[in-house]
Amino acid sequence: MDLSLLPDIFALAVFIVGFRPLARRVGWYANLWFLGWGFLLVRQIALLFDLPPGLGHTIAQWVALWSLALCALTFMVVSANVPSKQIERALVVAVGGPVLFQAALTVIGFQKHWVQYVAVALFLLPLVQVLLARRSRPLLFLGGAFALFAVCMIPVAVRHADVVANGSISLVFLSAAYFYLLSAQRYTRGVVAAVTGLASWGLTYPLLLTLQRIFPGVQVRRSLTELPEYLVVAGIMLALLEEHVLRTERMAMHDPLTDLPNRRMFEERLIATMEEARETRTTVACLVIDVDNFKTINDTLGHTAGDQLLRALAVRLSWHMSPRDILARTGGDEFTALLAGVSDEHHLRFIAGAMMSAGSVPIMLDGQAVDVRISIGIALSPDHAEDIDGLRRAADAAMYSAKRRGGSLLAFAGEE
């Protein structure tokens, strides 16, 4: 037994156990990372048994090489399918089938030339599948990379089957790095570390092979070749933690029904905007928007229909917001809008009127057109109030004034 692998096995097992709770919190795709590390643990255990030549040795080598290939394929799938699904099962089979078949031939030591050539030709399947399915450019790049690999491996397919097998696994790791970089919504430290680790992992075997050809007597320590694995571990953990923190912060600052900012985020933005307005001597408008007879709609059509109405109304009101403005859901059927840098009252009346028109168009709820009416109360700073609480109270009072006059109106603070 190769006892030098025990520390690596123990460290990887501890990581997997610690990674599991995070995988449950982040989402389904984190389970695929968990599965990939599981394959790597199986590989390390298989390499632990340094058996003499024979059936047991062949099986251990087979398990080790297949586990590494399955680890790479799993990483490629999860990298390409987050946040949106890009790699279908047919393409996974087209990529993984030739890789696993070549690995099996390498371990068995099959010497038939025609079989080796067929195995290399199978690496054309990803390109064929992508072309037939008319996939996106990144997948076309993947298919082209494997096709180019097949062409380059024809001269060495018979004498150096291990080069083809390990080279194909390296290409899968490089593909995982490529897809992870493309799918990243932001380039955080975790993403950079994970991409660098996956790319380094894919380049390890070609670099070692080149080094052995140039300097035959040089032996590279295993700890150096395993550095990319630890880099990927650190990168993935950090990226998932960053994503979890961002999701938690978003949940704390956004309304789960409409995905609009909630009252807490609105108040923070209002404070910052009013401070800026004081310095620049500009006008800030606060609009309180309430749905007329929302309780009647809820009672007659049900709470599900009421939720649909609020989501549709949130979208319609957002149409008239500029990047500097903010629209928030601050109550059951109440929305509050903050308009920064309003030029004059006519401009404000135009925007509020457009919101009133968009919000008053009938909405389809469960196949039934429902008339919607909204009331809007408007207050300006510094005209109607100079502090945050005063501005909110003035806009709220104007909204209730509009409701008292029959609703479906917009009213300015101080109007009767």
CATH of residue 388's domain is 3.30.70.270
pLDDT for the residue numbered 209: 82
Domain that holds residue 241: 3-253
pLDDT for the residue numbered 2: 63
333 is catalytic: yes
Amino acid found at 29: Y
Catalytic residue among 162, 292, 325, 333: 333
pLDDT band at 74 (very low <50, low <70, confident <90, very high): very high
pLDDT for the residue numbered 76: 93
**Domain closes at, from 219, 253, 287:** 253
What are the Cα distances from residue 217, in Å, to 94, 168, 304, 372? Answer: 38, 26, 73, 81
H-only helix segments in 81-124: 89-108, 113-121
pLDDT band at 75 (very low <50, low <70, confident <90, very high): very high
CB 119 within 8 A of CB 102: yes
- Residue 408 tokens read as 């479906």
Q: Is the pLDDT of residue 173 over 90?
A: yes
Amino acid found at 91: L
pLDDT for the residue numbered 122: 92
pLDDT band at 137 (very low <50, low <70, confident <90, very high): confident
- Residue 23 tokens read as 């995988």
Would you put residue 217 in left (φ > 0), alpha (ψ -120 to 50) or beta? alpha
pTM over 0.85: no
pLDDT for the residue numbered 365: 77
Q: Is the pLDDT of residue 51 over 70?
A: no
Classify residue 305: in a domain, yes or no: yes
Picking from 399, 375, 371, 405, the residue whose alpha carbon sits closest to that of residue 300 is 371
pLDDT for the residue numbered 201: 92
On whether both 341 and 387 belong to a single domain, the answer is: yes
Q: Is the pLDDT of residue 347 over 70?
A: yes
Classify residue 93: in a domain, yes or no: yes
Amino acid found at 300: T
Burial pattern 301-336, b for ≥16 Cβ within 10 A else e, equals: beeebbebbbebbbebbbebeeeebbbbbbeebbbb
On whether both 236 and 267 belong to a single domain, the answer is: no
Classify residue 258: in a domain, yes or no: no
**Among the ranges given (27-41, 163-177, 218-232, 260-274), the one the predictor scored with the smallest mean pLDDT:** 218-232
Of the two residues 94 and 361, the one the predictor is more confident about is 94
Rounded CA separation 180/158 (Å)? 34
Q: Distance from CA of residue 388 to its chain's centroid?
A: 37
On whether both 205 and 289 belong to a single domain, the answer is: no
pLDDT band at 176 (very low <50, low <70, confident <90, very high): very high
On whether both 279 and 233 belong to a single domain, the answer is: no
**Domain closes at, from 218, 253, 288:** 253
For residue 340, give the DSSP letter: E
CB 363 within 8 A of CB 370: yes
| Average pLDDT of the residues in 351-375 | 82
- Residue 295 tokens read as 């309780």
Of the two residues 294 and 73, the one the predictor is more confident about is 73
pLDDT band at 49 (very low <50, low <70, confident <90, very high): confident
- Residue 42 tokens read as 């199986």
Q: Is the pLDDT of residue 169 over 90?
A: yes
Give the chain's domain count: 2
On whether both 136 and 240 belong to a single domain, the answer is: yes
Q: Is the pLDDT of residue 3 over 90?
A: no
Task: Give the H/E segment covering residue 327.
Answer: strand 326-329
Note if the bond before 52 is cis, omega within 30 degrees. Answer: no
pLDDT for the residue numbered 179: 92
